[in-house]
Amino acid sequence: MSFGNLVLIGVALFAILGAVGAFTIAFRRSQTDQAPEPVDPAAGLSTETIEADKSMAGVRVEPISVAAAEDAVDEIVVEVDAEETEPAPSTVAIEVVETQRVVEVSPEEAGVTRRQFFNRALNVTFFSFLGIMGVNSLAFFWPRLSGGFGTDVDAGDLAEVKSQVFTSDGSVLPLFVPEAKAYIVPAPSSLSEQYVGLQVETEGLMALFQRCVHLGCRVPWCGPSQGFECPCHGSKYNSVGEWFAGPAPRNLDRFVVEVQNGRFIIKTGSVVLTSRAPSLTVKYPQGPSCIGAVAVEEA
Ligand code: FES
C-alpha cells in the first residue's frame, strides 16, 4: 500500500471521527434544548413552611418590580415611624436581589464559539480530503514519462530474449513482459502485408498486447494449440495474434518495437491496430484447444 493511500485512509478516518463528534454535540444540544422536567415546588420545604403556604391559599400573588418593592418598603417604614412614639425605632431589613443582566458583546470580544470551531474543523477536514483525492487522481491519470506501461519498456538483452522465445523443438513459447503488458513472440518469416511499414517487427520478434480486443480480458497462451485463447468469450488467435475465431473484431493489438544498444525495446505508447487477417501467416490450431479442453471437462 502506497504512502498516498495510507494518508488517504487516515484523512477518511479523521473525517468520520469529526462527523461523529459533530453529531454527538448536536444530539446533546437537542437534549438540553428540550423542556425541563416539572419540579415539585414544595420539594425541600419544611412542614411549617408548607402549612404557612396553605394558609395563603386563595391569595393572588403578583410579581412587582424592584423599584415598586423599595417604594412599598419606604411606606412601611414611614408608617412604622408614625406609629412608634417611643425611641427604639424599628428597622426593616430589605434584601434587594439584583436582576440578571444580558450584555451584548461584539464578535471580536466573544471570540470563536464551540459551534464555529467544529464547523471550521469539519470544513478543513472535508477540503483536505478533497485535495488529497484530487492529487491522487491527478497522479493516476498523469502520463508516465519514464518506465512502466505507456513508455518505452526495456524487455532485456536481445540475445537473451531470443533464447527464451525460440525453443529447441521449434514450438513457440511467448515471453511475457509484465511491465509492458505484452507477449514477445517470433514473427513469421514472411511478414504479412498487414504489418509492412508499421515497425511492429524487428530481429524476427513481435510484441503483442495482452488485452483481448473484444472486451479487454487478458488472453492467456495455450501451448497445446500454439495460440492465444480468450477464456471470457472464446476468441482465438494464432501465435502472432491473428484472429482465428470468436467475437473479437480484429487481430490482437501490437506495439512498435526496436533494438537499441542490443536491448529489445517495446514502445508501449505506440499501439498498432490491425483488422482481421485475411489469411493466417502461422498455422492454428496445432493441437487441442485449452478452452475446448476446459469446456469438455465442465460438461
Ligand atoms: S473478451 Fe476476449 S472474447 Fe470477449
Q: Is the CB of 217 under 6 A from ligand 1?
A: yes
Distance (Å, whole) CA 131 – CA 17: 19
**Best mutation site among 210, 215, 228 for ligand 1 pocket (most ligand atoms within 8 Å of CB):** 215
Helix residue ranges, H only, the chain: 3-33, 47-55, 66-83, 107-110, 114-141, 158-165, 290-298
Q: Kindly state if the Cβ of 212 falls inside 6 Å of ligand 1.
A: yes
Q: How many Cα atoms occupy the beta-carbon half-sphere of 289 within 13 Å? A: 18
The tens place of each residue's pLDDT in the chain, 299 residues long, gives 556 566 667 767 777 777 777 777 767 766 655 655 655 666 666 777 777 666 666 555 566 676 776 777 677 666 656 566 555 555 656 666 656 667 777 777 777 788 888 898 999 999 999 999 888 888 777 766 566 899 999 999 999 999 999 888 888 999 999 999 999 999 988 888 889 899 999 999 999 999 999 999 999 999 999 999 999 999 999 999 999 999 999 999 999 999 999 999 999 999 999 999 889 999 999 999 998 644 433 32
Q: Are 179 and 210 in contact (CB under 8 A)?
A: no
* Res 14: pLDDT: 74
291 CB within 6 A, ligand 1: no
Cell 419540579 -> residue:
39
- C-beta of 213 in contact with ligand 1 (< 6 A): no
Eight-class DSSP state of 106? -
Instruction: Name the residue with the closest Cα to ligand 1, atom 3.
Output: 233
Classify residue 251 as exposed, middle or buried by CB count within 10 Å of its CB (0-12, 13-18, 19+): buried
CA of 236 to the centre of ligand 1 (A): 9
Tell me how crowded residue 249 is: count the other CB atoms within 10 A of its CB.
Answer: 12
| Of the options 3.30.540.10, 3.40.50.2300, 2.102.10.10, 2.40.10.340, the CATH number for the domain spanning 152-298 | 2.102.10.10
Dihedral sign (CA 20, 25, 28, 29): negative
